[in-house]
Structure 1
Amino acid sequence: MLKKLYSLLIFTSLITIYDAKYFKFKFNMYNVTKFMDTSLKIWTYNTTKRTNLTCLVDAVYNISRESVYFNRSYRSGLEWSQFSKEGLFDARDQRLMMVRRPGGLVESTEILEFANDNYTCGIFRVWPGGGHGLRLYDLRFKDYDKWDKPDQVCIDEFNR
């Protein structure tokens, strides 16, 4: 038994050294706090959600290590709606944010699955409710007035 354990340990060590030297595996743990820490508006450029809402935008007005407060606005037809939201960060998973009305119940769980190097765009996996059921994906990017578009690397990743 001890011989098998040593063999497994040596094999694992060799694979780790080999992988590090010859393969460029990239495992990123994206940081939703870093993405949300902005004075620019965060626009939803594309989504897998079937919706009639357009111009979905988040505007952050307060952020700390534990949470972020922002206004989430959208247009439905000619009508604009805006709601105050609180995003609760998870200390164990820096990709995760639970979104609710301030002090209310969790309305969605949002996980930053991908971001470009400077965090100007990202792909969020969104679970409505407490994080169970239907999975949706949003491509979001930062811009003052949505005249620009996300970095091409984010568009390509979203379309994969």
Structure 2
Amino acid sequence: MVRLVFLCGVLCVLLLTTPSHQHEGQGNRQDIVRFLNTTEKIWTWKSTSTVRTICKVDIKSDINATNIAYTRSILEGRYYWTKKELRGKFFNWNSSMNTISGSYDAVDLATRGGRGAGVEVLHYVSANFKCAVLFILGDGRYPIRPWYDMRVWDSSTQNGPDEDCKRAFENVTIPKERKQSYYRGCPNATAFMK
């Protein structure tokens, strides 16, 4: 029941605060599973969240065609990391997607204890699936304030996101404030994760 109320609230917020969900300039399938299914760390590169996060990283522990489990870590101090164990169920946010194809564009997240932790909707994914722009509907806190994240695979941090991914993020986030989340020191700081 709580989850249903949460999702209804999320839907209302989405309808009131964003234009229709469109996948801009996509030649490849919108597939959040292909973006998340990597052995690499996935870093948040930039975000429009009102909560400033530095060195936010997701490390997948398990994934299959319909579910994912991973640890989300955020650097809170110079050497202190907060961690959240998350479980997600893939689904199609964009109802025009073919559900039979097994391609999903969103994930409904919960903590290990079952508490809702938000919904993440794929807005854009690069052709090589190493960069994505995600529409985030909450993180388990209230009130729900939607935002966008640009996330990249660890192997893309050296040169940064590709130009198409940057453009997709910039286009969808006008006029929101964009905050850098990834810095060169982030990979070194992971040595202090426990």
Deviation at 1:51, TM superposition (A): 2.1
The runs of 5 or more residues in structure 1 that have no matched partner are 1-24
What residue in structure 1 maps to residue 88 of structure 2? 87
Asked if structure 1 preserves the Cα contact closer than 8 Å seen for 2:131 and 2:152, the reply is yes
Asked if structure 2 preserves the Cα contact closer than 8 Å seen for 1:53 and 1:77, the reply is no
Partner AA of 1:59 in structure 2:
I
User: How far apart, CA to CA, are the structure 2 residues paired with 1:71 and 1:53?
Assistant: 16
Q: CA RMSD in A?
A: 2.5
- Aligned partner of 1:126 among 133, 136, 146: 136
SS of the residue corresponding to residue 94 of structure 1 reads coil
What residue in structure 2 maps to residue 60 of structure 1? 60
- The answer to whether the aligner puts 1:48 opposite 2:70 as a matched pair is no
- Aligned partner of 1:155 among 139, 163, 166: 166
What residue in structure 2 maps to residue 102 of structure 1? 112
Question: Comparing both structures, which one devotes a greater share of its residues to strand?
Answer: 1
What residue in structure 2 maps to residue 115 of structure 1? 125
Deviation at 1:152, TM superposition (A): 1.7
Q: 1:145 to 1:81 in 2, by over 3 A?
A: farther
Q: Deviations over 1:52-103 (max 9, x none)?
A: 3200000011101121111100011222111111111116471010111125
SS of the residue corresponding to residue 158 of structure 1 reads helix
Q: 1:103 to 1:148 in 2, by over 3 A?
A: farther
Normalised to the residue count of structure 2, the TM-score between the two structures is 0.62
SS of the residue corresponding to residue 33 of structure 2 reads helix
Partner AA of 2:45 in structure 1:
Y
Moved over 6 A (4+): none
Deviation at 1:106, TM superposition (A): 1.9
Q: Which structure: larger Rg?
A: 1
What residue in structure 2 maps to residue 5 of structure 1? none
Greater relative contact order, per chain length (Cα 8 Å cut-off, separation 6+): 2
Q: 1:44 to 1:26 in 2, by over 3 A?
A: closer
Partner AA of 1:157 in structure 2:
A
Partner AA of 1:154 in structure 2:
C
SS of the residue corresponding to residue 157 of structure 1 reads helix
Deviation at 1:151, TM superposition (A): 1.4
Asked if structure 2 preserves the Cα contact closer than 8 Å seen for 1:39 and 1:60, the reply is yes
Q: Percent identity?
A: 24
Q: 1:27 to 1:106 in 2, by over 3 A?
A: farther
User: How far apart, CA to CA, are the structure 1 residues paired with 2:33 and 2:51?
Assistant: 27
Q: 1:26 to 1:138 in 2, by over 3 A?
A: closer
